[in-house]
């Protein structure tokens, strides 16, 4: 369980916005802001591997070996066990490094959300939590990321009936405020 409570909800409660730690969420799947190596890193990635234990890294290595020897491309997503986390699954996606994709950053960030949600549905989960992908080390401006992530999530949920909760988890209250000021949910 988590003691964090929703700051705000959208789309009839199917989207919630909270301040908290992604590793502590009581949802069926959490999303990791990974890098293309899938072998861990700092930020959310480091926190998820520390909290989830070695089973996650083991599966990531196997995915690299069998499916992505060159690394997971930006915008794509893969799923592993949640290891010791409450979540059953970790969905790993690679955000764009801001300024390094010749103007295709927005499309790539949208792909991260769309592909992660697609995998969540494929895994039959009904709840999934996202960190704010690419807005840390990868430098994506928080206001622009809010616009893109909210539009992409709403678009996905408009044709999906399975997901009951998409939880957007911000590490700091100020980050959640920026999201709330810039999101484009219709209700």
3-state secondary structure of 36: coil
Could you identify the residue written with the tokens 């988890």? 169
Say whether residue 135 binds ligand AR6 (CB under 6 A): yes
Catalytic site residue from 45, 147, 160, 175: 45
Over the window 85 to 124, marking each residue x when it contacts ligand AR6 by CB under 6 A and - when it does not, the resulting string is: ----------x-----------------------------
Q: Which residues of 133-148 are buried (b: 16+ CB within 10 A; e: fewer)?
A: bbbbebebebebbbbb
Over the window 58 to 87, marking each residue x when it contacts ligand AR6 by CB under 6 A and - when it does not, the resulting string is: ------------------------------
Number of residues counted as binding ligand AR6 (CB under 6 A): 24
Over the window 12 to 51, marking each residue x when it contacts ligand AR6 by CB under 6 A and - when it does not, the resulting string is: ---------xxx---------xxx-----xxxxx-x----
Pairing of strands 29-34, 89-94: parallel
Residue closer to ligand AR6 (CB basis): 11 or 47:
47
Tokens linked to 52: 């989830």
| β-sheet bridge partners, residue 170 | 19
Residue closer to ligand AR6 (CB basis): 36 or 160:
36
Question: Rounded to whole angstroms, how far apart are CA atoms 129 and 117?
Answer: 10
Rounded to the nearest 10 degrees, the angle between the axes of helix 43-52 and helix 54-66 is 110
The footprint of ligand AR6 (CB under 6 A) covers 21-23, 33-35, 41-45, 47, 95, 131-138, 169, 171, 175
């Amino acid at each position: 369980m988590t003691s964090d409570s929703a700051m705000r909800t959208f789309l009839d409660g199917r989207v919630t916005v909270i301040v908290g730690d992604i590793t502590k969420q009581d949802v069926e799947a959490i999303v990791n802001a990974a890098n293309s190596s899938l072998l861990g890193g700092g930020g959310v990635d480091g926190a998820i591997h520390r909290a989830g234990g070695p089973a996650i890294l083991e599966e990531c290595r196997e995915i690299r070996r069998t499916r992505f020897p060159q690394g997971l491309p930006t915008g794509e997503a893969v799923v592993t066990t949640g290891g010791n986390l409450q979540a059953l699954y970790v969905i790993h996606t690679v955000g764009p490094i801001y300024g390094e994709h010749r103007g295709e950053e927005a499309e790539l960030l949208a792909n991260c959300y769309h592909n992660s949600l697609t995998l969540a549905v494929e895994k039959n989960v009904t709840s999934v939590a996202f960190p704010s992908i690419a807005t840390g080390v990868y430098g994506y401006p928080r206001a622009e990321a809010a616009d893109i992530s909210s539009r992409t999530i709403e678009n996905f949920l408009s044709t999906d009936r399975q997901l009951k909760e998409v939880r957007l988890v911000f590490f700091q209250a100020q980050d959640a405020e920026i999201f709330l000021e810039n999101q484009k949910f219709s209700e």
